[in-house]
């Protein structure tokens, strides 16, 4: 029978002598196994005796005389505490402890020492040992109790460590950035997403004021917002970040974020700091802006589309009524554009449409709107005119601007346009009537031989 088997058998047999089989098996499961490593059989015997018969034990004891066998034994697990003499036949000094600790960091270790090597035992404590037992006191009744305490303490530490690791893993796996501060607003935690989003590494900023890492401002006004964390620390209430919050990253670049700041309270409800949870919304915002743009602008020319023009026309009519001013609509249709498509292909036609768009935009003020209505039709809104002379001037400008050939495909092509003009309020009381009448005037321009403009009235 192997040594360990014999020891277990011996202790279980003694227990069975006192209790029934069921109870002894239950106790066996509850008992802690202590590994004694010493080449001194007398020390081993005293320890085995005191521990096997301990009131708050009993313990299962395994005794090994050298380090190498002990390291092999530790590899099989099941050891709850180690008592080790640092002077062994195959290892001595604090290195003995270091090797055991490396092999089983989760198992508490007490060293066995006599008066002359107490300093060594203290060094082992500095390396992570839970304590030491002095020779001559091994038989003391407090020894089992001390052992029980360190096993329980280590178990609690292990549980806390596991819980902390689990929390760390969870916090580092989420895509939300999480940063925590203490009561003074100094940083004491950043998860991986926070490092990525802010550009700061934990070890660079832990202990620094939170606004070094969480530097935010209002994206619309550009005003810095250092108040939020301070506010939560003072008011002890959670707040959501403002809708347009911008985070200034370590490299000075800006990122739109959403998130919240909440107080961290202890079990007595005392505030201990704050936790800020936030995420990057710049992609989502850019996508939303793109969708809005696509809904309002023509994909080929990037000019405002019919929808946006209608909106601007209605606004211009309201302003015109309020200020008793006039506005004008210029309705353009390119002349014989179908011929370009048919002769040179659709792609060349597209290039002409883009070139025409640029020339039209160059003919008006920023406050006016050049829009593409669809196909080869464009509508220009002159939102404030003095008299008919203004649209007439623009129409002439456009006809002149169209004249030079447009680079398209591999060559150059010429195109002209017919323009119909309606004026508000004279030519219609609302946007629809103005458009209809400008369109009618444009047809009149076609009838008049193209490449000219006509007023509706």
Write the interaction track for ligand GTP spanning residues 322-361; mark x where CB under 6 A is met and - where it is not: -----------xxxxxxx-x----x--xx--x--------
Residue from 80, 258, 376, 439 touching ligand GTP (CB under 6 A): that is 376
Q: Which is nearer to ligand GTP, 333 or 427 (CB)?
A: 333
H-run or E-run covering 190: strand 187-190
Per CB under 6 A, which of residues 293..312 are in contact with ligand GTP? Answer: 300
Taking the C-alpha atoms of residue 456 and residue 331, their distance in angstroms, rounded to an integer, is: 11
Find all residues with CB under 8 Å of 21, minimum gap 6, and list them.
none
Residue with tokens 């020492």: 113
Across the beta sheet with 33-37, the strand order is 60-64, 33-37, 81-85, 109-113, 131-134
Which is nearer to ligand GTP, 162 or 339 (by Cβ)?
Answer: 339
Residue 438 belongs to what H/E stretch? helix 431-447
Which CB atom, from 2 or from 299, has the smaller least distance to ligand GTP?
A: 299
CA distance 148 to 284: 57
Give the nearer residue to ligand GTP in terms of CB position, either 14 or 338: 338
Structure tokens belonging to residue 384: 């404030």
For the bound state, the minimum distance from the C-beta of residue 444 to ligand GTP, rounded and expressed in Å, comes to 13
Q: Is residue 420 near ligand GTP by the rule CB under 6 A?
A: no
Site string for ligand GTP, 242-281 (x = CB under 6 A): ----------------------------------------
Q: Which residues contact 266 (CB under 8 A, 6 or more apart)?
A: 272
If the CB atoms of residues 295 and 347 are measured against ligand GTP, the closer one turns out to be: 347
Tell me: does residue 446 bind ligand GTP (CB under 6 A).
Answer: yes
Whole-number minimum distance, CB 264 to ligand GTP, in Å? 59
Cβ-proximal residue to ligand GTP, closest one: 349
With contact defined as beta carbons under 8 Å apart, do 28 and 12 qualify? yes
Residue number, 166 or 338, with CB nearest to ligand GTP: 338
Query: What are the residues facing 297 on neighbouring strands?
Result: 304
> Least distance to ligand GTP from the beta carbon of 455, Å?
19
The residues with which 133 forms a beta bridge, in sequence order, are: 112
Q: Quick one: how many helices (H) and strands (E) in the chain?
A: 16, 19
CB-nearer residue toward ligand GTP: 231 or 344: 344
Within a 10 A sphere around the Cβ of 311, how many other Cβ atoms? 14
Site residues, ligand GTP (CB under 6 A): 300, 333-339, 341, 346, 349-350, 353, 375-376, 446
């Amino acid at each position: 029978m192997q040594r360990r088997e014999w020891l277990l058998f011996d202790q279980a047999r003694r227990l069975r002598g006192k209790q029934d089989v069921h109870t002894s098996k239950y106790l066996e499961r509850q008992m802690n196994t202590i590994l004694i490593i010493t080449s001194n059989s007398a020390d081993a015997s005293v320890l085995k005796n005191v521990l096997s018969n301990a009131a708050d034990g009993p313990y299962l004891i395994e005794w090994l005389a050298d380090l190498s066998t002990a390291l092999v034994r530790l590899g099989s697990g099941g050891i709850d505490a180690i008592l080790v003499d640092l002077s062994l036949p195959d290892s001595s000094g604090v290195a003995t402890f270091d090797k055991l600790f490396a092999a089983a960091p989760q198992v508490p270790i007490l060293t066995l020492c006599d008066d002359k090597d107490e300093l060594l035992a203290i060094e082992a404590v500095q390396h992570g040992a839970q304590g030491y037992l002095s020779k001559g006191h091994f038989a003391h009744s407090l020894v089992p109790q001390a052992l029980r305490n360190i096993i329980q303490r280590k178990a609690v530490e292990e549980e806390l460590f596991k819980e902390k690791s689990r929390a760390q893993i969870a916090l580092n796996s989420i895509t939300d950035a999480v940063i925590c501060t203490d009561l003074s607003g100094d940083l004491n935690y950043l998860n991986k997403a926070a490092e990525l989003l802010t550009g700061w590494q934990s070890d660079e900023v832990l202990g620094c004021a939170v606004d070094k890492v969480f530097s935010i401002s209002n994206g619309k006004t550009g005003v810095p917002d250092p108040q939020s964390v301070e506010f939560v620390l003072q008011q002890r209430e959670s707040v959501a970040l403002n809708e347009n919050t911008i985070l200034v990253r370590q490299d000075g670049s800006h990122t739109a974020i959403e998130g919240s700041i909440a107080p961290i309270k202890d079990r007595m409800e005392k505030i201990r700091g704050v936790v800020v949870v936030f995420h990057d919304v710049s992609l989502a915002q850019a996508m939303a802006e793109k969708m809005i743009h696509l809904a309002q602008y023509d994909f080929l020319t990037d000019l405002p589309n019919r929808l946006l023009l209608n909106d601007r026309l209605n606004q211009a009519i309201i302003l015109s009524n309020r200020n008793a001013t006039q506005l004008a609509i210029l309705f353009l249709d390119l002349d014989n554009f179908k011929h370009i498509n048919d002769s040179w292909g659709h792609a060349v036609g597209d290039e002409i449409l883009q070139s025409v768009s640029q020339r039209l935009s160059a003919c008006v003020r920023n406050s006016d709107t050049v829009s593409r209505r669809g196909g080869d039709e464009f509508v220009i809104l002159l939102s404030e005119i003095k008299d008919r002379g203004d649209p007439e001037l623009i129409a002439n400008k456009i006809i002149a601007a169209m004249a030079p050939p447009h680079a398209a495909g591999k060559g150059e092509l010429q195109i002209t346009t017919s323009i119909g003009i309606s004026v508000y309020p004279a030519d219609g009381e609302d946007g629809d009537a103005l458009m209809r009448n400008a369109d009618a005037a444009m047809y009149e321009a076609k009838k008049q031989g193209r490449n000219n403009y006509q007023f509706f009235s």
